[in-house]
Each structure stands twice: as C-alpha cells, then as structure tokens.
Structure 1
Amino acid sequence: MYDPRQRLVALTLLNNGLTAAEVHRRTGISRNTLGKWRKDLPRAMAQTLPSCPRCHDRSLDSAVYAYLFGLYLGDGHIADAPGDKGVFRLEIACGDMWPGLIEDAASAISNVMPGLKVGRLRSTGCTNVGAYSKHWPCLFPQHGPGMKHTRKIELVRWQREIVDRCREDFVRGLIHSDGCRTVNRIRRHKADGEVIYEYPRYFFTNASDDIRDLFTEALDRLGIAWKQNNPRHISVARREAVARLDEFVGPKH
C-alpha cells in the first residue's frame, strides 16, 4: 500500500503524460503498479482523490455546482462503474450540435471535482461527458435506481441553499440540458398580403413533476413569467421574460 498523497502525486504525473519510468524515478512507486494504474487512470484517480466537498470539507463553487446540478437533473445520470465497487460514473448527455455545451459540461465537472479525468464517450448524435468518483452520490443525493421521473426528487438542505443563492445558474443548467431557445413564427393574412411575425421563446421539457416544479419555482423567484403548455412542457414567451432569460441563458452554442 502506498501513502495516498504519494499515490496522488504519481497519478497526477501519469495523467500529465509522464512515462512510468519517469514517475518511478520521482516517486519510487514500482513500474508494475504504475502500469496497472495507467491502464485506467480515471478509475485510479477516482479511487484516490479525497476531493469531495461534502466529505472532506473542501470549498465548492456554488454557481458552478448549481449549473452542473441543473445539467444532471436534465440529461445526467450516475451509474455504478463496472468491476469497481463503490465507484460511480457521472455522465451528462450533450447534443453534438452544441459543442459549447460539451465544453461547459466538462468544465463544470472539473471545477466541482478537481483532478478527475473528464472523458467524452461518443454516441449517436450526442457526446456523454463524464468522470469516475466514489463521491458523486454525496454531491447528487437524488441518485437512485430507475429513471428520475419514477422517483421523488427533493433538494436536501445544503442544495436548497445553493439553488436559492444561484438560481440563474441552476435555471441555465436546466435549460441547457432539457430546454431550448427558439424563434416562433406566426403567419397573418391581411388585405395587402401575408405578414409573418417572429418572436423568441424558451421551452423546457421534463417528464418529472418534481424537476419541472424546481424549474418553475426558480423562475417565479426570479420574476420570470412562464406557462405550462401541456403536462411536460413549460414555455417562456413574454417579451420581458425572454429578455430576462437572455441575460444569463441565451441560445445553446
């Protein structure tokens, strides 16, 4: 067994591209052990890093966490890592048509859990951005079996405090995951011909009543008018409400 601090130094060096021979020379850890760690650095890092803000009293950027939490509630999930008991993988599904969103999700994960290797797994039409850690359930206690809309989604006290402080970031994460900004077009026939009116609006779609309630509650507290079009869809269409969302959300990129 190696001292956790020594192990972390070695893994960081491997993660930065140094060879096993060079890391051995600097740390004294055997090349055989370094080779095993190098085969799957993300999991080795996840098993080593004491980086959980909930377990290790580390500071947490509330605004970035609120944004990542919104992404997780929308298009995120946490799964057990195959073969590694107690290790989990957080993944955020990001549409490939929005490369900026992919980068934002990766940056948010790195900020909330520094030192983890953030990976990108390609799928049809999307990229799953994620990382391994033992502590994702600590940061997202809403994790549980089954799809999110089949179970109760409630904020614990410390999450409520963050969301209340960082409502704009939370709403931005929700819209970036399960929402969009579109331009609505209406045709009107007049005596002198057809006229087309265009105006922007936002949509948010989620199957979970609890998640939609969290979204609309945040809008209410921000003073942003909204309307429920059907059981799963929320729209924001009033000019002043759209302008307010444009201040901190805007179109996906």
Structure 2
Amino acid sequence: MYDMATRQRAVSLHNSGMTLSQVSRATGISRFSVRAWTVDIKPSPLMTAECPLRDGDLDPDRPRADYAYLLGLYLGDGCLSEGRRQVHALRIACGDAWPGLIEACAEAIAAVMPQNKVQRVQAGGYTSVVSTSKHWPCLFPQHGPGPKHLRRVALSPWQQRVVDEHPWELLRGLIHSDGCRITNWTTRTVAGHRKRYEYPRYFFTNTSADIVRLFTDTLDAVGVEWKAAHRTSGTVNISVARKASVALMDEHIGPKH
C-alpha cells in the first residue's frame, strides 16, 4: 500500500524522537503500520555521517555561509531533540506564509549536512524542516534543556569565526526566523493638505538577551544603526529605521517571501 520512500520517511521521523502517535498524525499513516516498519526497516546509515568539525573548526568541505544562515534560523526558531541511539533531530519551524523561507531553510540544511535527508513536516500554520544526525549537537553546541532564553547562549570560537566571515548570512537567518521587514506610514499636513508618507523598517524580536546581543553586535560589525525597545513581556524589540541602514539591509537581506 505504501512505497519504500514513504515507509522510510515515517521511520526516520520516529527515529528522530517523534512518538508513534505523532508520526501517525503528521503522515496520516496508522500507528500499527509505523510500529511494524520500525522493526522491518533499519535506521539509515547516513545518520552516522562523519563529524562536521575538524581540528576545532568547521570542516572546510562544508559551506560556511550556509552554516551562518542556518545558525541564525536555529537561534530564532530551531531546536534539537534527541531520539534513539543518540540521533538528534534538527527542527526549524517556518511559517507557511513564506514558502521561499521553507525552501531556503531546506537548502541550507542540505548544504551543511549533505549526506542526510531533509524532510518537511506540516503542522498548524507552519512547516517544520527536519533532518536527523548524531552530529547536530556538534554544529549547535548551544543545545540544552529548556527554552533558549532561560539558559546562556554563547558562540564557540569556531562559530564566531564563521560569523565574522559571513555576518550578513547570520543576520539574514535571524531576520527570517524572528524578524521582519515592514512598511510604516504616517501623515503630515503640507501647505494645508494631508499627505501620507511611507517608510520601510526592519524589526527583530527575541526574549533571549544573549541572542539579542549577538544580533546587535553583528549589526554593529556591518555598520547598521539600530534602536532597542524593551517590552513588559520580557522580549526585546530591535528596530532598524534609518534610511541608510534600511538600504544596507535591503541590499543583503530583503523581506521574507
């Protein structure tokens, strides 16, 4: 009834840490079938790919710009969950309103971990882009128990070197996950007539002080001016509104699509 690709996808989701019921809801396949396949289909050997780090740095065969972008997505809307046999699943939640973001996320994951499959799991209003590997914790040492804003988030020296080389890619990932580009407007009276003026600006909102600091430090490094506003909810809103800075962001980032 189901082809091998469908079976392997269901087994891979289960191996990533999802329960039989969760896999059943995500795929529409019965729990009985998924349970049977987990016995008949062995875990993919691609999950045991070689460690992506070498001599304290990112393997030179892995694209550093793609990693910087993926790091931004992970810090904003990503998480790692441990499944069986120490296999971890990287999950990046991407809003369905931006199909281009979903594709860019999948492409970045495939570039960074080319030997592993990338899957899309539909949920309510968003799509989780998922890939399993034993080595995701190597690439994202920020992983830990609980929400990111409740623990310290600091870059490893090798990660900071990647960000220094590709600051715009990190910023693009952070904006695509927890930010946006919008058009504000206001009205003014000129020579007795009310006129409407529109101006674009960028926003980035996060609850983690460490992630916000990483974002603003990187903005400083590329010469973008910003302002911060603290909300009563505990989140921090970073605004980029000056014309020259918005133009610089447009040149390297642009709106989500």
Is the pair's TM-score, using the shorter chain for normalization, greater than 0.5?
yes
- One-letter amino acid of the structure 2 residue matched with residue 237 of structure 1: A
**Structure 1's 36 and 123: CA in aligned 2 closer, same or farther, altered over 3 A?**
closer
Partner in structure 2 of residue 152 of structure 1:
152
Q: 1:80 offset after TM fit, Å?
A: 1.0
Distance in structure 1 (CA, Å) of the matches to 2:139 and 2:113: 10
Superposed CA RMSD: 2.1
Q: Does residue 95 of the first structure (1) align with residue 99 of the second (2)?
A: no
Which one of 230, 236, 242 corresponds to residue 240 of structure 2? 236
- One-letter amino acid of the structure 2 residue matched with residue 102 of structure 1: I
Distance in structure 2 (CA, Å) of the matches to 1:193 and 1:39: 72
More off after superposition, 202-211 vs 223-232 = 223-232
Whether the 8 Å CA contact 1:219–1:225 is kept in 2: the answer is yes
Partner in structure 1 of residue 52 of structure 2:
53
Distance in structure 2 (CA, Å) of the matches to 1:161 and 1:134: 23
Q: 1:36 offset after TM fit, Å?
A: 6.5
Larger Rg: 1
- One-letter amino acid of the structure 2 residue matched with residue 54 of structure 1: L
Percent identity, please: 51
Partner in structure 1 of residue 71 of structure 2:
69
Consecutive unaligned residues of structure 2, counting only runs of 5 or more, are: 6-36
- One-letter amino acid of the structure 2 residue matched with residue 244 of structure 1: L
- One-letter amino acid of the structure 1 residue matched with residue 93 of structure 2: A
- One-letter amino acid of the structure 2 residue matched with residue 198 of structure 1: E
Secondary structure of the residue aligned to 2:195 is strand
Secondary structure of the residue aligned to 1:116 is coil
Partner in structure 1 of residue 117 of structure 2:
117
Q: Does residue 219 of the first structure (1) align with residue 219 of the second (2)?
A: yes
Q: Does residue 246 of the first structure (1) align with residue 245 of the second (2)?
A: no
Whether the 8 Å CA contact 2:142–2:154 is kept in 1: the answer is yes
Deviations 1:154-184 (A, max 9, x none): 0111001111111011101100110000000
Q: 1:39 offset after TM fit, Å?
A: 4.1
- One-letter amino acid of the structure 2 residue matched with residue 131 of structure 1: S
- One-letter amino acid of the structure 2 residue matched with residue 100 of structure 1: G
Relative to the length of structure 1, the TM-score reads: 0.80
Deviations 1:134-171 (A, max 9, x none): 00000000000000000000011100111111101110
**Structure 1's 38 and 192: CA in aligned 2 closer, same or farther, altered over 3 A?**
farther
Question: How many residue pairs were aligned?
Answer: 217
Whether the 8 Å CA contact 1:45–1:116 is kept in 2: the answer is no
**Structure 1's 76 and 160: CA in aligned 2 closer, same or farther, altered over 3 A?**
same
Partner in structure 2 of residue 208 of structure 1:
208
Distance in structure 2 (CA, Å) of the matches to 1:106 and 1:163: 20
Secondary structure of the residue aligned to 1:120 is strand
Q: 1:124 offset after TM fit, Å?
A: 1.0
More off after superposition, 187-196 vs 241-250 = 187-196
Distance in structure 2 (CA, Å) of the matches to 1:64 and 1:115: 15
Q: Does residue 130 of the first structure (1) align with residue 134 of the second (2)?
A: no
Whether the 8 Å CA contact 2:52–2:135 is kept in 1: the answer is no
Distance in structure 2 (CA, Å) of the matches to 1:181 and 1:38: 48
Match runs of 1:25-36 below 5 Å: none
Distance in structure 1 (CA, Å) of the matches to 2:215 and 2:40: 42
Secondary structure of the residue aligned to 1:85 is helix
Deviations 1:92-147 (A, max 9, x none): 10010100000000000000001211011111111000101000000000000000
Whether the 8 Å CA contact 2:163–2:170 is kept in 1: the answer is yes
Q: 1:37 offset after TM fit, Å?
A: 8.8
Distance in structure 2 (CA, Å) of the matches to 1:113 and 1:176: 20
Partner in structure 2 of residue 28 of structure 1:
none
Distance in structure 1 (CA, Å) of the matches to 2:86 and 2:60: 21
| Structure 1: 4+ residue segments shifted above 6 A | 35-38
More off after superposition, 182-191 vs 230-239 = 182-191
Distance in structure 1 (CA, Å) of the matches to 2:185 and 2:174: 25
